[in-house]
Structure 1
Amino acid sequence: MNATLLHSLLLTTLAMTFVLLARRPLRQLFGARPAFMLWLLPPLLAVLPWLPALPVQWATLPTMPVFAGNIDGATAALHHTSRMAWLESAWLAGATVCLLRLFVQLVRLHRQSHHLPAAMLSALLQELQTLDSSRLRLHPAGPALLPSAPRTLLLLPADFLQRFSATERQLILRHELTHLRRGDALWNLLAELAAAALWFHPLIWFALPRFRLDQELACDEHLLCHAPQDEADYAHVLMHSAGHPAAPTLIPWLSEPQLKERLTMIQRHRPGALRRRIGYLGLAALMAGSTLVAQASTKPAPDQSAESDLTFNSNLQPSYPAAALKNHEEGTVILLVQVHMDGTVGSITYDPQHSTTKSADLIAAASNAARQWRFNPQTKNGVAVEGYARVPVKFALSPLPAKPQNSQGEKSNSKS
């Protein structure tokens, strides 16, 4: 498996573990809104290994020649990668199933929603003039938010006016509008997409409902900080609301497992503005420091280098592309290859400044072969470290001329 992918998964796992352990004490210390910032840490660290990081110096390796007659190199490379192909297929199948489930859920929710009756719409706009009528839809799962293009929809049940009093309707609608201003529907959708990509990771399914809970707590805190006089009414409407089961892409007004935590947050003394600001600054510094530490672990030292495993790589030479042969393209492709501590290949970059060809076919052939190569990593103080190498791959339409025979060989031939 690609070492960059493993590094990314490791950082994501560590970040999710830290968030799950720290979210509750940080919420009590600084409030629900700063604590919700912690959920930015897993995606932030997940992308770090994929960011390019060029070293100060590159070790230039011997040129690998590729002649027009070399058309079988792809077969060896395919045989080398077939051992891990089933893992990629399994991941792709699982991710496809999760994404299809998400898509079907979105389509089903949209088909079940309808425009509000004129009388209901008029009554709601009289009570809360800031409502956007184009967002309002009827749906039995409401009150809830549903991601949609070009704007998120606010779902309301058909009996919304009868089920809740005017005060309760005001609080519920203000809660949903707070979600809209915070962009929570988009964050919720991104979390679902991340879960689809990491479907095999058990921690993601443990973290997802806690992410939704922290999102609701942050929204509740934001609303009550601006209207602390509504705490009693807010708690009352929560206790007398019908909960809905959590559904992908949907942010319901109340999900049953969240009720106890949300009522506890309302009753507890919330941190003041100063502590919240300190929390924001502290968490921002924590994430910045974690990012720097994680990024430093992906960058090689200036004196690192790597050596090619010539015995192994000679069996995985690039094949000469048929299109390049047809167009009579040749030249040297310079690849800048990242070499991991286990000798596997990380990122591969084409060096246009030192290459003698810009043929996309030759560059692709060299890059595809290089992804299968192995290297002997540089060691520092007896420990393998990550390094980089500049690998020239020369494509020639005809073989190099034969070496001239030495004088002894010429004499023996003349005698014969």
Structure 2
Amino acid sequence: MPTNDIAVLLPGLLPALLRATVVLSLAVSAVFALRLPLRRCFGPGVAYAAWLAAPLCTLAALMPAAPEGSVLALRATPSGLSFATTMQELAPVASSMGARAYIVLAWLAGVLGAAALQIIRQRSYLRSLGKLTRRGGIAYADSPHAGPALVGLWRPIVVVPADFDDRYTLEERELILAHERAHASRRDPVANAAGAVLRCLNWFNPLAHVGERLMRADQELACDAGVMRRHPNARRSYANAMLKTQLSANAAPLACQWQSTHPLKERIMSLNQTTPYALRMTGRLLIAAAMATGGWAAWAAQEAPKGELYDIAMKLNVDGAKSAPHLHTRSDEPASFRSGEGAQQWQAQLTLKPADNGKMFISALVKHAGKPVSKPGLLVALGEPATVKIDTEDKSHMEMELTVTQLPKYAQRQKN
């Protein structure tokens, strides 16, 4: 990829990052406010499913915007989310391309650091298990303080403590294994991995960290409820198994742990909640409709693409001072630059208009010391330079060479 394309692409990531952060924060805040009412009305499983809104709405916000004039787009809303305007209001420090690139690089450094921390924690947890001995379809850890847990992403295994057979009764062991196998059947380790990825990508956003922790808590409650529906007369044994399990000293980003830092009292109290099938299905339908609406709103509120984006590469010679700035603009949208200070300052406003045979007409308004001095017009072919020379009565001189090129498609998507 050419160096100039990289310079365009990296700063273009900043509006996308801001858009994704705003949408993720709104989704997490909404689920945080609704999770307890959802749990009471429709059961823990529905409250856990609501967390899907966070990644789905974030992905929707990063999809290409709807075409201008589309009936799907939210163009008529006066308070619609204009993320380009928000960028200008919230990040004035990012007014230059270099500053925006530094912000994106700082974000990337944070992502790598957060990912490294997650990897270290996962490896520390795996080391704490010691050597695993497989027996009867499960794996026994060396330590009596490890597990029960479901470990692994694509082919997870149930890991139990070394004294699993002695510490728990037969019924308790069956309930624990049912709990961990319920995690496996629902692919909860994949959900945990997705939460870890979002947490790394949003390492600067406290709502991402809070949301991931609450999602894991609701995951355990949903799994408890599923086991209790299949074993309605085993609540006492299930609670006894919880009380016999020690808190895990190591938090595993990807594992589903039977007992980690989740409030034990809340889990035991939730065992008495029974939600009828009809209410659970109603809750799932409501959640699906809410996520579809939220995802559509996050996507449709984006600004529509505004046409082709062009790069104007300039070579300036202002009274002997040379520079080579770049302007990015679309046809019929003025782009301006300044050079010099005070009474010797030059200003120019350039407007591009497509012409026949793939050429571009450049109309310019040039000022010196705040007064118009020239209105040149140039008809140029894309990629070919054109030169304008202007002299003033006070012997000031400006020469600018302009080369217009169309930016690559991926850079235009980032700018949109």
Distance in 1 between residues matched to 2:230 and 2:381, nearest whole Å: 65
Which position in structure 1 is the counterpart of 2:25?
13
Distance in 1 between residues matched to 2:55 and 2:226, nearest whole Å: 24
Seen in structure 2, the aligned counterparts of structure 1 residues 281 and 138 have a Cα distance that, compared at 3 Å, is farther
SS in 1 for 2:262: helix
Letter in 1 for 2:114: C
Count of residues in correspondence between the two structures: 299
Question: What does the per-residue CA deviation read over 1:241-290, in whole Å, with 9 as the maximum and x for residues that have no partner?
Answer: 2122433223221124321111111123x210000000011111111112
Choose between structure 1 and 2 for higher RCO, CA contacts under 8 A separated by at least 6 residues. Answer: 1
Seen in structure 2, the aligned counterparts of structure 1 residues 393 and 89 have a Cα distance that, compared at 3 Å, is farther
Letter in 2 for 1:13: S
Question: What does the per-residue CA deviation read over 1:145-170, in whole Å, with 9 as the maximum and x for residues that have no partner?
Answer: 2224x511322111111111211111
CA RMSD of aligned residues (A): 3.7
Letter in 1 for 2:326: L
> How big is the shift at 1:14?
0.6
Distance in 1 between residues matched to 2:42 and 2:203, nearest whole Å: 32
Structure 2 residue corresponding to 1:142, chosen from 136, 140, 147:
147
Distance in 1 between residues matched to 2:383 and 2:312, nearest whole Å: 18
Structure 1 unaligned spans of 5+: 59-78, 126-130, 319-334, 340-354, 357-391, 403-416
Which position in structure 1 is the counterpart of 2:326?
316
Distance in 2 between residues matched to 1:81 and 1:197, nearest whole Å: 22
> How big is the shift at 1:143?
0.7
SS in 1 for 2:263: helix
Which position in structure 2 is the counterpart of 1:325?
none
Give the stretch that moved more between structures: 43-52 or 194-203: 43-52
Seen in structure 2, the aligned counterparts of structure 1 residues 46 and 336 have a Cα distance that, compared at 3 Å, is farther
Question: What does the per-residue CA deviation read over 1:348-381, in whole Å, with 9 as the maximum and x for residues that have no partner?
Answer: xxxxxxx99xxxxxxxxxxxxxxxxxxxxxxxxx
- Asked if the contact 1:136–1:153 (Cα under 8 Å) also holds between the matched residues in 2, the reply is no
TM-score by length of 1: 0.63
2:210 maps to 1:206: yes
Taking only the aligned residue pairs, the percentage that are identical comes to: 28
| Structure 1: 4+ residue segments shifted above 6 A | 304-314
Which position in structure 2 is the counterpart of 1:232?
236
Question: What does the per-residue CA deviation read over 1:219-246, in whole Å, with 9 as the maximum and x for residues that have no partner?
Answer: 0111111111111211122123212243
Seen in structure 2, the aligned counterparts of structure 1 residues 247 and 36 have a Cα distance that, compared at 3 Å, is same
SS in 2 for 1:24: helix
Which position in structure 1 is the counterpart of 2:119?
103
Letter in 1 for 2:202: L
- Asked if the contact 2:172–2:238 (Cα under 8 Å) also holds between the matched residues in 1, the reply is yes
Seen in structure 2, the aligned counterparts of structure 1 residues 143 and 312 have a Cα distance that, compared at 3 Å, is farther
> How big is the shift at 1:28?
0.4
Which position in structure 1 is the counterpart of 2:291?
287
- Asked if the contact 1:147–1:189 (Cα under 8 Å) also holds between the matched residues in 2, the reply is no
Structure 2 residue corresponding to 1:42, chosen from 50, 54, 76:
54
TM-score by length of 2: 0.63
Seen in structure 2, the aligned counterparts of structure 1 residues 51 and 137 have a Cα distance that, compared at 3 Å, is same
Structure 2 unaligned spans of 5+: 1-10, 71-94, 316-323, 334-356, 359-379, 389-416
Distance in 1 between residues matched to 2:151 and 2:169, nearest whole Å: 24
Letter in 2 for 1:22: L
Letter in 2 for 1:182: R
SS in 2 for 1:14: helix
Which position in structure 1 is the counterpart of 2:227?
223
> How big is the shift at 1:218?
0.5
Distance in 2 between residues matched to 1:52 and 1:168, nearest whole Å: 51
Letter in 2 for 1:88: V
Structure 2 residue corresponding to 1:24, chosen from 26, 31, 36:
36
